[in-house]
């Protein structure tokens, strides 16, 4: 839907929001509110994906460090979310901007209908001029329904609101060829047009004691955004006026550029890519990988070399090439037991096997339910 404004999603990590003294950096949120006003004057609307609830709640509840047991983590999230939301509200309201709180879990987005409801709500908030502040609902999430990191959540939100740009404010100024804190020869990468195995290998772990993500989660999120045709940037949260400078076309951090001329991805395929976590993995041979990536084919059982995980028909699966790189994600046409038996078999072999007869003439993953990553 055409609008008279552009939409930017900004993801803020815990290490950017909370200082080494474990105190919330109120001045940072005030600066973000100033940026939101500048963006509004430039014709942009802002959506914030904010970490920090657990990090803000832990010291309030008297924990000397981030707890490790789930009830304590969820208690910290419950208290910390109130602290965080109050500061967002106060600083943005002081600049005549209204914020809202949106808490999501995988349970909310794994089901197509609730995914669409979340999309409609976020789109309407943006249309009304509200700045939604989105976070994972850590108070009620368990491992089975966790996004696991807010980089993935930011990619999801960017797709939900059809963002023009997604910016990750981090404790590092962008992507390097190696971890710059460990390798003095690491070189900064200002622009990425394709995420391959070498780019993924350059990603290091998080250096923060308060965050859960690392560079690898940011790279994976950027890859999904490139697939969706959405540009993304990773830059330092300490960078002055980064958002308004990016909106003005200035180069800040590392820019991930979507492939030129890529066809628009159907909303259902974006839901497949982001709505639910993968419940299993299939590894394919080189021929099948070529057919998926270059020709947009369905995945046939004969091209599968390995099936991992326990899942039922309709489950979300990651598809890996022979080198272990995830090249696609799709919905299984059969359960793991059937696919393990069918892997590597031609259609005539499958049709002749009484246990697999139901799979005869069917792909393992149909191309209409498969998204190939950029």
Q: Give strand pairing partners of 99.
A: 131
pLDDT digits (tens, 9 = 90+) for 327-354: 999 999 999 999 999 999 999 999 999 8
Distance spanning both ends of the chain, measured CA to CA: 24
State yes or no: pLDDT of 122 exceeds 90: yes
Predicted pLDDT at 239: 93
Predicted pLDDT at 145: 37
Predicted pLDDT at 320: 96
Q: What is the mean pLDDT of the chain?
A: 89
Which is higher by pLDDT, 252 or 147?
Answer: 252
Give 188's pLDDT tier (boundaries 50, 70, 90).
Answer: very high
Predicted pLDDT at 208: 43
Provide the 3-class DSSP secondary structure of residue 276: coil
Mean pLDDT of 109-126: 91
Domain ranges in the chain are: 6-256, 278-372
| Listed residue (248, 258, 136, 129) closest to 192, CA to CA | 258
pLDDT digits (tens, 9 = 90+) for 285-316: 999 999 999 999 999 999 999 999 999 999 99
Residue 321, by phi and psi: left (phi above 0), alpha (psi -120 to 50) or beta?
Answer: beta
Say which CATH topology domain 6-256 has: Carbamate kinase (3.40.1160)
Predicted pLDDT at 262: 54
Within 10 angstroms of residue 259's Cβ, the number of other Cβ atoms is 12
| Alpha carbon of residue 348 to chain centroid | 40
**3-state DSSP of 298-345:** CECHHHEEEEECCCCCCCEEEEECCCCCEEEEEECCCCHHHHHHHCCC
Give 141's pLDDT tier (boundaries 50, 70, 90).
Answer: low
Predicted pLDDT at 204: 55
Give 148's pLDDT tier (boundaries 50, 70, 90).
Answer: low
Which is higher by pLDDT, 319 or 204?
Answer: 319
Predicted pLDDT at 147: 53
| Listed residue (80, 39, 46) closest to 63, CA to CA | 80
Give 162's pLDDT tier (boundaries 50, 70, 90).
Answer: very high
Mean pLDDT of 165-185: 89
Give 142's pLDDT tier (boundaries 50, 70, 90).
Answer: low
pLDDT above 70 as % of the chain: 94
Q: Do domains 6-256 and 278-372 have the same CATH topology?
A: no
CA 5 vs CA 11, 33, 102, 231: distances in Å: 20, 18, 22, 16
Contact of 331 with 320, CB cutoff 8 Å? no
Query: Where do we find the tokens 């710059």?
Result: 180
pLDDT above 90 as % of the chain: 64
State yes or no: pLDDT of 251 exceeds 60: yes
Predicted pLDDT at 213: 47
pLDDT digits (tens, 9 = 90+) for 44-102: 999 999 988 999 999 999 999 899 898 999 999 999 999 999 999 999 999 999 999 99
Give 144's pLDDT tier (boundaries 50, 70, 90).
Answer: very low
Within 10 angstroms of residue 283's Cβ, the number of other Cβ atoms is 20
CATH tag, 278-372 = 2.30.130.10
State yes or no: pLDDT of 212 exceeds 70: no
Within 10 angstroms of residue 170's Cβ, the number of other Cβ atoms is 26
Predicted pLDDT at 206: 43
Q: Which residues contact 52 (CB under 8 A, 6 or more apart)?
A: 12, 14, 17, 18, 24, 80, 84, 135
Provide the 3-class DSSP secondary structure of residue 155: helix
């Amino acid at each position: 839907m055409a609008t008279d404004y552009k939409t930017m999603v900004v993801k803020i990590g815990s290490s950017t929001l909370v200082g080494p003294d474990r105190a919330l950096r109120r001045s940072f949120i005030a600066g973000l509110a100033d940026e939101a006003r500048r963006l509004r004057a430039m014709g942009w609307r802002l959506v914030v994906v904010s970490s920090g609830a657990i990090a803000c709640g832990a010291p309030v509840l008297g924990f000397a460090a981030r707890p490790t047991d789930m009830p304590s983590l969820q208690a910290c999230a419950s208290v910390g979310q109130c602290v965080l939301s109050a500061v967002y509200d106060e600083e943005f309201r002081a600049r005549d901007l209204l914020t809202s709180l949106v808490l999501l879990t995988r349970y909310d987005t794994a089901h197509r209908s609730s995914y669409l409801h979340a999309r409609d709500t976020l789109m309407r908030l943006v249309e009304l001029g509200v700045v939604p502040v989105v976070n994972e609902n850590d108070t009620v999430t368990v491992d089975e329904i966790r996004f696991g990191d807010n980089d993935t959540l930011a990619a999801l939100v960017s797709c939900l609101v059809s963002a023009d740009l997604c910016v990750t404010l981090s404790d590092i100024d962008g992507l390097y060829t190696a971890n710059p804190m460990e390798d003095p020869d690491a070189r900064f990468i200002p622009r990425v047009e394709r995420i391959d195995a070498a780019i993924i290998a350059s990603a290091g772990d998080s250096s923060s004691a308060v965050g859960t993500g690392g560079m690898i989660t940011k790279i994976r999120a950027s890859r999904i955004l490139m697939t969706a045709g959405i540009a993304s940037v990773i830059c330092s949260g300490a960078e002055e006026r980064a958002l308004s400078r990016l909106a003005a076309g200035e180069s800040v951090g590392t820019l991930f550029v979507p492939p030129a001329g890529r066809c628009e991805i159907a909303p259902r395929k974006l839901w497949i890519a982001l709505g639910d976590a993968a419940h299993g993995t299939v590894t394919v041979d080189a021929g099948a990988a070529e057919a998926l990536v270059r020709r947009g084919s369905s995945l046939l059982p004969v091209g599968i070399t390995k099936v991992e995980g326990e899942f039922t028909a309709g489950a979300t699966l990651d598809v890996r090439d022979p080198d272990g790189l995830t090249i696609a994600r799709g919905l299984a046409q059969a359960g793991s037991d059937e696919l393990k038996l069918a892997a590597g078999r031609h259609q005539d072999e499958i049709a002749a096997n009484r246990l697999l007869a139901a799979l005869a003439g069917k792909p393992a993953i149909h191309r209409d339910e498969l998204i190939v990553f950029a």
